[in-house]
Structure 1
Amino acid sequence: MTTADRLRAEGLRATRPRIVVLEVLDAARAAGEHLPVALVADRARAALPSVSTQAVYDCLDALARAGLARCIEPAGHPARYEARVGDNHHHLVCRDCGRTVDVDCTSGHAPCLAPSDTAGFAVEEAEVVFWGRCPQCRALHTAPPIARPEQHAAEREEVR
């Protein structure tokens, strides 16, 4: 099914900006990326230079409402978009660099968690964000401090 067919199947017009934005999200999914709007816009402009940032926002909103994209908003980080939809997955987010990774739910179908009191809500989904540090940021936190050149000079003077 083409990107245009996917849009039409969800009741959306297959405009060039929507096609390009959805293709950007599809490529990001294949690469395991979750993109902030600015990066979606940059990548969309590579294929469609005239697309405005506002048009990208409008496309992302339409795609999310149609169920073709998902917006995640980790606290303290910009909203990110992904094309992985329709399954019960969650996210790992690095506290330092914001890297976001999909993680499958181990509890089964949505909602995979149930609140102690629903307050009359019909719970449809539970969104879980696991916070920590990615391997690269952990390595930075555990690496010994790098000595500054002036420290080496001072140490050489002490040895004399």
Structure 2
Amino acid sequence: MRLPAARILVLSHSRYGRIVHHPASPVDRLRRAGLRVTSPRAAVLEAVDAQPHSDAESLARALSADHPRLSVQSVHNVLRALTDHGLVRRIEPADSAALYESRVGDNHHHVVCRGCGAVADVACVAGHAPCLEPSDAGGFEIDLAEVVFWGMCPECRATGVVSPNTVESPRRSIRD
């Protein structure tokens, strides 16, 4: 029995590091979003698939072997286009460069390690967006609440990184 194409997930090894779980290839997603398919766009989208929560410089480094002429500025430009067309989500944790992920279209949040800066997806317990409502929206119609949880990952706790008791600069940490 064959499932409808929209329900079949493509599982493939990305050359940029991980197994990718997406309903369509980067080229197909670019076409569906109405974007012209270019080598840089397909490569950046594949790299974001493989390395979620990466910044533009990290993505440019990951792409440099296969795309040596692709500059960091070009990666920024591609990421802007991908974000504008809903293929990539931009997140901006405090004290961090903008990070990008291709997990879009669901309501999830993030947890950030105060020690090493690792970022992971966290499912929203409410499930729908917005999952939080302000006591007074000041006339705004709220459609999204971005939640970032801060804490210490198991690796940092195991190596003795001490979490600061401050919200002013969430990523500052000290070693024992």
TM interval, shorter chain, is 0.7 to 0.9
| 1:90 counterpart = 2:113 | no
In the TM superposition, residue 77 of structure 1 has moved relative to its aligned partner by 1.6
In the TM superposition, residue 25 of structure 1 has moved relative to its aligned partner by 0.8
Which blocks of at least 5 consecutive residues in structure 2 are unaligned? 1-23, 163-174
Deviates more, 1:2-11 or 1:107-116: 2-11
Q: 1:158 matched to which residue of 2?
A: none
Q: 2:156 aligns with which of 123, 134, 137?
A: 137
Counterpart-to-counterpart distance in 2, 1:99 and 1:139: 15
The amino acid of 2:160's aligned partner reads H
The amino acid of 1:116's aligned partner reads S
8 Å CA contact 1:45–1:51 kept in 2: the answer is: yes
8 Å CA contact 2:112–2:150 kept in 1: the answer is: yes
Q: 1:42 matched to which residue of 2?
A: 61
Deviations 1:25-77 (A, max 9, x none): 1112xxxx411111111112222111111110000011111111111111012
Counterpart-to-counterpart distance in 1, 2:63 and 2:35: 19
Which structure carries more strand by proportion? 2
In the TM superposition, residue 138 of structure 1 has moved relative to its aligned partner by 1.0
Q: 2:11 matched to which residue of 1?
A: none
- Show structure 1 runs of 4+ deviating over 6 A: none
Q: 2:96 matched to which residue of 1?
A: 77
Q: 2:140 matched to which residue of 1?
A: 121
Aligned residues: 141
Q: 1:19 matched to which residue of 2?
A: 42
Higher radius of gyration, 1 or 2 = 1
Which structure carries more helix by proportion? 1
Counterpart-to-counterpart distance in 2, 1:17 and 1:75: 29
Deviations 1:92-137 (A, max 9, x none): 0001110000000001210111111111111111000000111111
TM-score (norm 1): 0.82
8 Å CA contact 1:69–1:82 kept in 2: the answer is: yes
Which blocks of at least 5 consecutive residues in structure 1 are unaligned? 147-160
